[in-house]
Amino acid sequence: MIRRLAVAIVITVAVVATGGALSGPATPAGSLDRPAAGEAAADQADASSGVNTSPDGSPLASRPPEADDAPSNQPTGGAFEDLRLPADLTPGPATSGESAPAPSATTTTVAPPPSTTTTTTTIPPPLVPPPSTSWYGTGLKGNGIRPRAATVTEWAVGPITAPRSSTIETLGLYFIFAVEGSYFSGTGGINRFTIKPDVGGQPGSQVLGELTIANPMSPDGIWSDWASREGNWSQHTLATPAPVSGGSRYWIVAENLHQDPANNWVGINALTAGGGAPGTAYVHLETSSSSNTFTTFQYPGEGRLVGLFDLQFGDGSGFGQGYLHGHFHQVVGDDRRAREFITPSARHTVTSLRVWAPRTGGDGALTATLQNGNSVVAEASVVGSGWVAFPIEATLEPGTTYTIEFSAPAGTTYSFAALRETSNWTLGSRFTDGFADYYQHGAWLGGWPIWGLARQDGDLMFYFTE
């Protein structure tokens, strides 16, 4: 007889039937990726119960429009698309990733035949490898977008590790001109962007490459029209291409050259409540005018901001953090599930899995099932919240389609969200080996619910370590 033994993980084992059953609760486990203390409020907001599904379970229900939301129309494609501003989420009952308890030993009760005495065996919790610099997936988490502008002080994203030695020729950022949300002021300023090397965790003084957008509201600038709910994330050619070395770290630095920068500026979007795998680049602000010293920026109540950018080499390849939004929340629990389709373009030997999944109700385990068609490759169940880590090991072969599916028992709910990508940015800046899918009312939708439609331009917030 084959049964599944639930400790902190679910393991398929062969059991000789003795008239009893194996049972035991899942081991409590928390996030192994502990954000800085300043992220607590943002992570708690991520763990809220604000989701896109309605209480009556109506299919593809979108989050109700908030006061600061733009109308949610279907994107038109190209470099300009419809968008809506994110609403702050109300903190729910779940704890954030950094405050979840550490794993503890699990007590499993083995029920023998009636004629014997029940015995109790203590099983140690499973070991999950810590996050590594080698990982596979989206590797980011966030909750909506928020602009950050270079005004009197400079603005920077970094440090960014170059994947190989080459020359950066174009830069992509995400701009919106919108009265709502304080996205710009005046003329938009005179925006100079430079690529600089990292020196001791700070942008160095050497300028490797640069471009200046003197009139962002002109058609050849970074203009976008909020009346049509359009944003701009075009690639801008560097006037001076930037040579970079593989494995070295760099910064994107934005400064406003306008004579009145306090009243003439444009915001550049970033993911709120941001976090991710090792190597994630965050938004930094200059500590004072012309100080040349930068500190991690934290938006009140939303924690750190993850930079959104794309750096392109001359051959068309590139790297970055190429997503536009990080929300579109859905419930996972009972008859609602989430999964990511994955068709690797190269072989990946993975040693663990992490997914951003704040627990919003109950105390049951979240189960991750890696499948190849109908065959289960690996499976694990963990009680946690925030970055939930699973001891999943497997070799993912190129060209083979896998799914990593997430489920939870009745009475327990986890909040899942998608990162929305753009095809205008390079393949190396985003996860292009799959897409997110959602299950409700007895069927998979064939994509993630984004503004009322099941779309395949969204990915779950997850990554495997290698």
The reply to whether 129 falls in a domain is no
pLDDT tens digits, one per residue of 110-167: 344 444 343 333 444 456 766 667 999 999 999 888 888 888 899 999 999 999 999 9
**Predicted pLDDT of residue 231:** 57
The reply to whether 210 falls in a domain is yes
- d(CA 457, CA 446) in angstroms, rounded, equals 11
How large is the average pLDDT for residues 389-411?
97
The reply to whether 203 falls in a domain is yes
243: confidence class by pLDDT, cuts 50, 70, 90: very high
- d(CA 24, CA 208) in angstroms, rounded, equals 58
- d(CA 417, CA 143) in angstroms, rounded, equals 8
The reply to whether 284 falls in a domain is yes
**Predicted pLDDT of residue 235:** 85
Cα 341 to Cα 142, 395, 414, 427, 449, distances in angstroms: 20, 16, 19, 17, 15
CA gyration radius for the chain? 23
The reply to whether 53 falls in a domain is no
**Predicted pLDDT of residue 344:** 97
365: confidence class by pLDDT, cuts 50, 70, 90: very high
Which of residues 28 and 287 earns the better pLDDT score? 287
Backbone phi, psi, residue 262, to 5°: -65, -25
**Predicted pLDDT of residue 219:** 58
Where does 7-148 show beta strands of DSSP type E? 10-14, 22-23, 80-81, 106-110, 119-123, 135-137, 140-141, 145-148
- What is the average pLDDT value for the chain, to the nearest integer? 74
DSSP category for residue 23: E
Count of structural domains, the chain:
1
Question: Which residues, at least 6 apart from 392, have a Cβ–Cβ distance to it below 8 Å?
Answer: 350, 352, 353, 368, 370, 378, 379, 380, 464
pLDDT tens digits, one per residue of 412-461: 999 999 999 888 889 899 999 999 999 999 999 999 998 889 999 999 99
The reply to whether 299 falls in a domain is yes
Segments forming the whole domain that contains residue 232: 140-325
Cα 372 to Cα 5, 342, 466, distances in angstroms: 22, 10, 19
Does residue 353 surpass a pLDDT of 60?
yes
Look at 75-79, 277-281, 391-395, 428-432 and tell me which has the smallest mean pLDDT: 75-79
- d(CA 226, CA 339) in angstroms, rounded, equals 34
pLDDT tens digits, one per residue of 64-76: 222 222 222 222 2
The reply to whether 97 falls in a domain is no
The reply to whether 424 falls in a domain is no
What percentage of the chain exceeds 90 in pLDDT? 51
Beta bridge partners of 388: 355
Does residue 233 surpass a pLDDT of 90?
no
